[in-house]
Chain A
Amino acid sequence: MALAHGLARRGRSVTVLDEGDVAHRASRGNFALIWVQGKGLALPAYADWTVRAATLWDDFAAEIGELTGVDIAYARRGGFHVCFNEAELAERARRLSRLQTQLAAAPVCEVLDRSAIKDRLPAVGPEVVGGTYCPADGHVNALRLFNALHEAAEVQGIRYVPNAAVSEISPRARGVSIQTKLGNIHAHTVVLAAGLGNARLAPMVGLDAPVRPQRGQIMVTEKVAPFLDYPLSTIRQTDEGGVMIGDSQEEVGFDSGNSSRVLGAIAARAVRTFPLLAQARVVRSWGALRVMSKDGYPIYDRSTSVPDAYLVTCHSGVTLAPIHAKVLAHHIADGTWPDDFMPFSAGRFGNVPQVG
C-alpha cells in the first residue's frame, strides 16, 4: 500500500490487486517498530537505506495524517535493546560500532550501563546489566497505519480490488495482461509486492524471489497506565496502553499459529526485563509470518525480459514504508532504476534471473 501511495503521488493511475483475507499479511501481524539499530552489517547499502527510511518517517506520517485524519500514533524518540550479561552487551556494542564506521550518516547509538538505562527505563529489573540506544528508532500503531494507508488510497483515487488473487501475468505489446480470480486487467506497469506470494509470481515476469516464511509470535497485555516511554526491540507499550511482547524466529513453513512453549519463553524474558509485567494479564497472542529472503534484506528488481515489471519484497515493511513510497515508487513511476538499487537485486544470491 505504501508503494501504491507513492505511485499515485507521482501521478500514476494505480490499481491494487489483493489476495483477500486469507492472505498471510505481515502488515496486520507485525510488531510495528520503526527500527534501524543494528541493521545492515552484512549489506552496507541496506544500513544506509534503512536509516534514510527512518528519517523519512516524519514527513510520511505527516502526509498520511493530513490525507486521512487517522492518528497512526507515530513516535520516534529512539529505541532500546537491553542485555542480561556483560558479554552480550560487549558483543552488541562491538557490532554497533562496526556498523557506525561503515555508514556515512549513521545515527549515533549509545552503549549504556545499568544506571544510564535505569534513568530512561525506570522499570527495568535487576538482571538488566545495560543496553544500547539508537535515536532513529521508533514505533507506530500498525493496525491504524494499515487502515490509514487504505484510507489514503481511497482519497487519492487508488482502486483497491480485494479477492483478486493473480494466476497469470503475460507480457503484451504494451504492458502486461494480469489474470485474476475476478477477471483480466491490463496495465502499463506491474509491481509485484505480494510478500510471500512473490515467490510464485516472480517467474511470471522473468524474476526470482527466493523468500520464505519465518514465524514470529507476539502477545499483547491488557491496557495499563503508561510506564514505558520508548520501544525496545522486543517490548513496547502502545499508545493505547497495551504492552506488546515478541518475538520468535521460527522456521515452520506457512503455519501462523502460536504455541505456549514459545510464548512462555517470550513472557519470561519480558518479566526479567520489566518485573512489573508479571502482574499484567495477556489478552491476545498470535503468530505472523515474516517475508524472509536468504540474507534477510529486501529484494528490489526490475525485469529485463518483461518491460515495466518490478519486484519489491521485504521484511521490515513498517520501517521501510516511507522510502518505498517516496523513493522506490518514484523511480518505478518514472521508469528509472538507479545503480543504488543493484545491491538489492536477487542476483546477489547467485541465481541468474531466468529470461522468459
Chain B
Amino acid sequence: MFRRLGESVERYGLVVDGCRVAAVPGDTVATALLLAGMKPFRRTIKSAAPRSPYCGMGVCFDCLVTIDGIANRQACMEPVRDGMRIGTGAGAPDLTEGREA
C-alpha cells in the first residue's frame, strides 16, 4: 500500500517480530513498518481492537510498539537505528514483574 517516492538506499536492517526488515536512515520506525506492510501495530489493552499509526505526529499514541525491549514506544516519533529490535502487538507492560529501563 505504501511506497517510497524516488530512489533510496536501504542501508539499515531492523528485526521486527523476528523477521528482517530493511530501512533507510531518517525513517521513523512507523515509516519502516508501514512500508513493510505491517498491520496492525498493536491491539488495545481493554477491547483488543487493532491499531496502526493514525496521526503520525506523536499525539494519538495508536502506533505503540516495543523497541529494544521497552514497551509503549511511539513508532512515529522514533528514528530507526541499524539493528533495532521491534515487537508489535504487545499489551500493557506489567510493572510488578519489572522491566528494562
B23 → chain A closest CB, angstroms: 24
Interface presence of B12 (CB below 8 A) = no
Interface presence of A222 (CB below 8 A) = yes
Given contacts A225-B91, A240-B45, A276 and B72 within 8 Å (CB-CB)? no
Interface presence of A99 (CB below 8 A) = no
Interface presence of B99 (CB below 8 A) = yes
Interface presence of B46 (CB below 8 A) = yes
Other-chain contact of B95, A239, A240, A276 (Cβ < 8 Å): A276
- Dominant secondary structure of chain A at its interface with chain B: loop
Interface pair A222/B72, CB less than 8 Å apart: yes
Interface presence of A348 (CB below 8 A) = no
Interface pair A281/B72, CB less than 8 Å apart: yes
Other-chain contact of A225, B61, B96, B98, B101 (Cβ < 8 Å): B96
Interface pair B99/A223, CB less than 8 Å apart: no
Instruction: Name the A residues within 8 Å of B93 (CB-CB).
Output: 222, 224-225, 279
Report the nearest B residue to A239, measured CB to CB.
B46
Interface presence of A70 (CB below 8 A) = no
Interface pair A240/B46, CB less than 8 Å apart: yes
B46 → chain A closest CB, angstroms: 6
Contact with A along B40-79 (1 / 0, CB 8 A): 0000011000000000000001000000000110000000
Interface pair A280/B95, CB less than 8 Å apart: yes
B73 → chain A closest CB, angstroms: 9
Report the nearest B residue to A243, measured CB to CB.
B95
A227 to B99, CA, bound (A): 14
Instruction: Name the B residues within 8 Å of A278 (CB-CB).
Output: 101
The count of chain A contact residues (Cβ–Cβ below 8 Å) is: 16
Contact with B along A210-252 (1 / 0, CB 8 A): 0000000000001111010000000000011100000000000
Interface pair B98/A279, CB less than 8 Å apart: yes
Report the nearest A residue to B94, measured CB to CB.
A225
Interface pair A279/B99, CB less than 8 Å apart: yes
A105 to B99, CA, bound (A): 46
Interface presence of B92 (CB below 8 A) = yes
A163 to B23, CA, bound (A): 48
A281 to B71, CA, bound (A): 10
Interface pair B101/A276, CB less than 8 Å apart: no
Instruction: Name the A residues within 8 Å of B96 (CB-CB).
Output: 123, 225, 227, 276
Report the nearest A residue to B100, measured CB to CB.
A279
Interface pair A279/B95, CB less than 8 Å apart: yes
Instruction: Name the B residues within 8 Å of A240 (CB-CB).
Output: 45-46
Instruction: Name the A residues within 8 Å of B71 (CB-CB).
Output: 222
A95 to B96, CA, bound (A): 34
Interface pair B95/A241, CB less than 8 Å apart: no
* 17 intermolecular pairs with C-beta atoms under 8 Å apart: A222-B72, A225-B91, A225-B92, A225-B93, A225-B95, A227-B94, A227-B95, A240-B45, A240-B46, A241-B45, A276-B96, A276-B98, A279-B98, A279-B99, A279-B101, A281-B72, A283-B61
Q: Which 9 pairs between the two chains have the least Cβ-Cβ distance?
A: A225-B94, A276-B95, A222-B72, A225-B92, A223-B92, A241-B92, A224-B92, A279-B99, A224-B95
